[in-house]
Structure 1
Amino acid sequence: MTQAVAHAEGVRPGRVRVRPGQRRARRREGLVGLGFLAPNLVLMIGFLFVPIVLAVQLSFQETRGFGDPEWVGAANYETMVQDPEFWRSLANTVLFTAVTVPIELAAGLSLAVLLNSVLPARGLLRTLIVLPMVISGVASAMIAVILFYESNGLVNKVLEAVGLGRIAWQSEGAPAMLSVMLVAVWLRLGFNMVIYLAGLQAISPELYEAARIDGATRWQQLRSITVPLLGSSTFFLLIMNVIASFQVFDVIFVMTGGGPSGATSVLVTYAYRNGFLIREQGYGAALGIVILLITLAFTFLQWRTNRSRDQVG
């Protein structure tokens, strides 16, 4: 009947006639939406897309900040492939990411589950965990320097008090990397906990009640209800934590400066060293583009392969 009426009115079957008034209303809605988006679009174009285009252009040039830059094509990228310091920084970045991200996710989820239950002083504990989020990374790293100071830092004093020896946090590679990992986890823990708490609030309590009636233990409820329904939160936090790990700079720059002997040098600190200290700005820009491409590739791969990103929570 509907197709017959549409055919009689001159409209093809399966299509709905849009009146001129409706077209104008939709056009107005689109313009209103564009008006709301315009300030953000202007800021993104001016402070994100334009700098990226200029960085791409600079990565194909050789310049030290003085005189006219010289176009060298892909020479900076060819140098990068043959640069052992680049590969060492990349390996350190991958190691840093592989260690910190799972800990941040697991610890954030554990704290969220714990502080989502009935617990004395729950609000105070949440505030203490989230507090590092409101402190700048440089200030937090300065606090960490005092804590991990090799000669008379608080951490070494505690280790000596319990009968353990001092650890060379600044002069040995493995302890130095461990110290920056611990601080990075501490700084991001609150953000992960907040996102997981928001996801837990969206899960219906009736699911847990039904599971308890069926005799499910707490571990079974966590594994079969909580973790699957927090799929979208985990997907978001995985992307954000990996990007943050590949772009980590302030903590390492303040605590170790990439030392000792490059043991904590990551891609961003190596790019900073080349771009601002050695002033090989073309090579530093090329390193920045590689970091951008790696994070984009990881995000795209996760988006294409992760099936839990649209789940509740």
Structure 2
Amino acid sequence: MDLKMDSENSMKSQGKQRAFLSLKRREALSALVFVSPTLLLLLVFSFIPIFYSFWVSLQRWNLIQPPVYTGIENYINVFKDRYFRQALVNTLYFTGVSVPLTVMLSLGLAIMLNRKIRFISFYRTGYYIPVITSIVAVSVIWTWIYNGDTGLLNKVLASIGITGPNWLFDPGWAMPAVIIMTIWKNVGYYMVIYLAGLQGIDKSYYEAAEIDGATRWNCFRHVTLPMLAPTTQFIVIMAVISALQVFGQIYVMTGGGPVGSTTTVVYLIYQTAFSAFKVGYASAIAFIFFIVVFGLTLLQWKISRGRVEFM
């Protein structure tokens, strides 16, 4: 009798396990069906082009004659190329200056616009308009603003007795001019993200801090900043990646000049591939730069991971 009951219990247990596994398989199959379009798009438009680009980076190819396999020769030449080193320094300079200023300014604007003031929706919309405006259109407008003879900025400076430089044609001022324009263009996007983070902070934290006698600065330092740490981490990572890939404003406003002072790595890749027609060499630069961007992003993530407590 006991053996019969044990056998029945064992069969029931096995049946439940089979049903559970069958359910898990159906769920996995359903998930695969839903994600398959995205995977297909990634395969066609990302992974295949990436592998093809790597294959091209091992060739000497000018788009006219058949490609010639050269192994890692292109990669060796990239590290010897002073133009690549200059472009990399320019890119890191652009990133190192624009990202901190963008983050701080967007946080400050978000804090100001998180209060109940008149026309708050108008201000929020106004700061966000540059984000949705074409980078080409914005770059053309700022090129006019920076014009050394008829530009609005130099006219304003002249009205207060200051002679402005020829912004986009001065090697010392061209990159700062592009950085200012980029900050103006991007700050609204990160401001909106910070606004969402600020509105997610429980008001009781501020009430408790005020009861303990905390000043506004102490509330900002010990409540706002720690609670916004995950948001700040996300913004910094996204801003760094975006800054490292800067291209549109460089192409329209300076063309990489004067004397290469605003040539970034992405613009150098464009010039090498479509002006010099060194497609294999340009692909090698792109892969080396990919490693640089990936390494910086990973380092940034590891440094901030131990300091950020996700909620």
Scaled by the length of structure 1, the TM-score of the pair is: 0.92
CA contact (8 A) 1:230 1:311 kept: no
Match of 1:36 in 2: 34
**Residue 119 (structure 2) pairs with residue 121 (structure 1):** yes
2:80 counterpart (82, 90, 102): 82
Structure 1 distance, partners of 2:183, 2:71, is 39
Matched, 1:311 2:294: no
Residue 260 of structure 2 is matched in structure 1 by 262
Mapping of residues 124-273 of structure 1, within 5 Å: 124-273=122-271
User: Using a 3 Å threshold, how does the CA distance of structure 1 residues 64 and 42 change in structure 2: closer, same or farther?
Assistant: same
Runs of 4+ in 1 over 6 A off after TM superposition: none
Q: SS of 1:65's equivalent?
A: coil
Checking the alignment, whether the CA contact within 8 Å between 1:93 and 1:266 is kept in structure 2 is yes
Q: Is the 8 Å Cα contact of residues 115 and 122 (structure 1) preserved in structure 2?
A: yes
Secondary structure of the residue that 1:19 maps to in structure 2? helix
> Where is the helix percentage greater, Structure 1 or Structure 2?
2
Question: In the alignment, which residue of structure 1 is the partner of 2:106?
Answer: 108
Please tell me whether the aligned partners of residues 229 and 311 of structure 1 are also in contact (alpha carbons under 8 angstroms).
Answer: no
Q: Which ranges of structure 1 fall in alignment gaps of 5 or more residues?
A: 1-8, 11-15
Given candidates 275, 280, 283, the residue that maps to 1:282 is 280
The 8 Å contact of residues 62 and 69 in structure 1, kept in 2 or not, is answered as: yes
Secondary structure of the 1:173 match is coil
- The 1-side partners of 2:34 and 2:141 are apart by 41
Q: Shift of the alpha carbon at 1:135?
A: 1.0
Aligned residue identity for 1:281? V
Give the whole-Å Cα distance in 2 for the aligned partners of 1:149 and 1:168.
Answer: 7
Amino acid paired to 2:231: S
Q: Counterparts of 1:162 and 1:99 in 2: how far apart (Å)?
A: 27
**Counterpart code for 2:147:** Y
Secondary structure of 1:132's match? helix
Q: Which moved more, 1:296-305 or 1:195-204?
A: 296-305
Q: Distance in 1 between matches of 2:32 and 2:107?
A: 38
Query: What residue is the counterpart of 2:23 in the other structure?
Result: 25
Per-residue CA distance 1:170-226 (angstroms, 9 max, x = gap)? 221121111100011111101111111111121111001111111111111111111
User: For 1:205 and 1:241, how far apart are their aligned partners in 2?
Assistant: 28
Report the residue type matching 2:19 in the other structure: G
Give the Cα separation in 2 of the matches to 1:34 and 1:275: 38
Q: Which residue of 1 aligns with 2:5?
A: none
Q: CA, structure 1 residues 310+136, in 2 after alignment: closer, same or farther (shift >3 Å)?
A: farther
Contact 1:228 1:308 in 2 (8 A): no
The answer to whether the 8 Å contact 2:99/2:240 transfers is yes
Query: What is the letter of the counterpart of residue 257 of structure 2?
Result: G
Aligned residues: 302
- Once residues 63 and 286 of structure 2 are traced to their aligned partners in structure 1, the CA distance between those partners, rounded to angstroms, is 17
Give percent identity, aligned residues only.
Answer: 36
**Any conservation in 2 of the 1:142–1:254 contact (CA below 8 Å)?**
yes
